[in-house]
Amino acid sequence: MTMGKSDFFKYDYFKNINLSDPFFESLKKDYQEFEDWFLKKSDDKAYYYEDENGIQAFLYLKIEDEALTDISPSLPKNKRIKIGTLKINSHGTRLGERFIKKALDYAVVNNIKELYVTVFEKHKSLIELLKKYGFEHVAWKTTNNGTESVMLKNLNKFTGNIFKDYPLVSLDNTTPYLLSIYPEYHTRLFPDSILHNESGYDLIKDISHTNSIEKVYICWMDGVLDIKPGDPIVIYRTTDIPNRAEYRSVATSICVLKELKTKNDFNSLDDFLKYCSKYSVFNQKELTHFFNKHKLYVLKMTYNLALNKRLIRKDLIEQCGIDREAYWGIMRLTEQQFVRIIKLGGVNESFIINQTRVR
């Protein structure tokens, strides 16, 4: 699988982004002040996606700490991330999901529990996408441009719905696991920058095309049948250098299982390809080869949290209490081991829901 330059997001200053691109025409029509606003932001940065046809998506994020008094009803003073501009020409791709993830990554890195965006009701597909990931209508904003819905996501609110709660991870009535992935597949499934663990991982600057919310992974380990929807999964990249596992095998990310399917759950190869292709790192030839095997297990997961500090096998054994002699392909973890991984990995524990633990 090869990746071209256009497969990646860009993160650049407004002054380096082509305001004359046809992509911005609808924003100029919807917001009469858009061009002036854009020019004033020349020294701020935004995310955007550009292909051979020009810009296809744009995202600007801003941290605020104030009351929102220009909406009805108003919202009290609080630290929030304002999604200042979000427009996506999705064309049936995952661009929308990837940009929503980027906004939520920003919240995780900055430890901010509220995000909001204003959107005109005519943008129905964007509204549905925002609702899927937990944004709710809370107010109206009326200006000379018209009336917009104010949609807010509250990361202090837990519903039990994997998508609405994303990126929160729950330990209530769940069992954490460790899942091993070979380096060549890990590189495709998760951002390449995770390999640079010696200097930490900058989730904000990561612009990899692989940084999407939903993931599909295929394996043959019978132990995965024990994993239930909602269970947290520590992703463990095995060594890329033989006999160097102690220092080269590394825990990188936290996922949550959405659903698990076996080969018998698919009526045909086409059914299997349709299910896997959208979110899998495997190409059609690989998927067809896998389907022809005697058995397979398909895990659909959400990619919730990246470990800021990658934990090598040596640390997982010596500091997290994982058994060196155990089978590391798929391994059930204790809650204590999982929490230790979270702490040592530099993940803010406020994004881990554990209401049943005695504090």
Pair 276, 218: CB distance under 8 Å = yes
Instruction: For residue 278, name the pLDDT band (cuts at 50, 70, 90).
Output: confident
Residue 200 has pLDDT above 60, yes or no: no
Instruction: For residue 282, name the pLDDT band (cuts at 50, 70, 90).
Output: confident
Say if 239 falls within a structural domain.
Answer: yes
State which of 132, 157, 182 marks the end of a domain: 157
Closest residue by Cα to residue 158 from 177, 172, 141, 140: 172
Residue 203 has pLDDT above 60, yes or no: no
pLDDT reported for residue 198: 41
Say if 324 falls within a structural domain.
Answer: yes
State which of 157, 190, 218 marks the end of a domain: 157
* One-letter-per-residue 3-state SS of 232-262: EEEEEECCCCCCCHHHHCEEEEEEEEEEEEE
Helix or strand run (H / E) with residue 38 = helix 34-40
Closest residue by Cα to residue 41 from 54, 56, 27, 29: 27
State which of 102, 122, 157 marks the end of a domain: 157
Q: Is the peptide bond before 73 cis (omega within 30 degrees of 0)?
A: yes
Show the domain range for 348.
Answer: 169-353
**Do 81 and 126 share a structural domain?**
yes
> What's the mean pLDDT in 312-318?
96
For position 185, which CATH number holds?
2.30.130.30
**Do 141 and 191 share a structural domain?**
no
**Do 151 and 17 share a structural domain?**
yes
- Its pTM stands at 0.89
The contacts of residue 49 (CB under 8 Å, 6+ apart) are 9, 10, 55, 56, 57, 58, 95, 99
Say if 163 falls within a structural domain.
Answer: no
**Do 174 and 153 share a structural domain?**
no
Domains in the chain: how many in total? Answer: 2
pLDDT reported for residue 4: 40
Supply the mean pLDDT for the chain. Answer: 89
**Do 321 and 187 share a structural domain?**
yes
**Do 212 and 340 share a structural domain?**
yes
Judging by DSSP bridges, how do beta strands 232-237 and 250-262 pair with one another?
antiparallel
Say if 340 falls within a structural domain.
Answer: yes
Say if 25 falls within a structural domain.
Answer: yes
Instruction: For residue 206, name the pLDDT band (cuts at 50, 70, 90).
Output: low
Say if 106 falls within a structural domain.
Answer: yes
Judging by DSSP bridges, how do beta strands 297-312 and 177-181 pair with one another?
unpaired
Amino acid residing at 79: K
pLDDT reported for residue 311: 93
Least confident of 112-121, 228-237, 280-289: 280-289
Pairwise CA distance, residues 299 & 264, whole Å = 14
SS3 79: strand
**Do 321 and 176 share a structural domain?**
yes
Say if 245 falls within a structural domain.
Answer: yes
Residue 246 has pLDDT above 90, yes or no: no
Give tens-digit pLDDT for 285-310.
Answer: 999 999 999 899 999 999 999 898 88
Give tens-digit pLDDT for 83-97.
Answer: 999 999 876 567 888
**Do 152 and 99 share a structural domain?**
yes
The percentage of residues in the chain with a pLDDT greater than 90, rounded to a whole number, is: 74
Say if 359 falls within a structural domain.
Answer: no
Give tens-digit pLDDT for 11-64.
Answer: 999 999 999 999 999 999 999 999 999 999 999 999 999 988 999 999 999 999
**Do 140 and 96 share a structural domain?**
yes
* Pair of tokens at residue 80: 């929030």
Residue 72 has pLDDT above 50, yes or no: yes
Amino acid residing at 41: K
* Pair of tokens at residue 105: 């990554």
**Do 36 and 10 share a structural domain?**
yes
| CA torsion through residues 95, 97, 100, 104, sign | negative
Residue 154 has pLDDT above 90, yes or no: yes
pLDDT reported for residue 210: 58
Instruction: For residue 193, name the pLDDT band (cuts at 50, 70, 90).
Output: very low
**Do 297 and 178 share a structural domain?**
yes
pLDDT reported for residue 5: 41
CB count in 10 Å sphere of residue 71: 18
**Do 216 and 148 share a structural domain?**
no
* 23-28 long-range Cβ contacts below 8 angstroms, 24+ apart: 23/54, 23/55, 23/56, 23/58, 23/87, 23/89, 24/55, 24/58, 26/87, 27/85, 27/87
Pairwise CA distance, residues 85 & 14, whole Å = 12
For position 28, which CATH number holds?
3.40.630.30
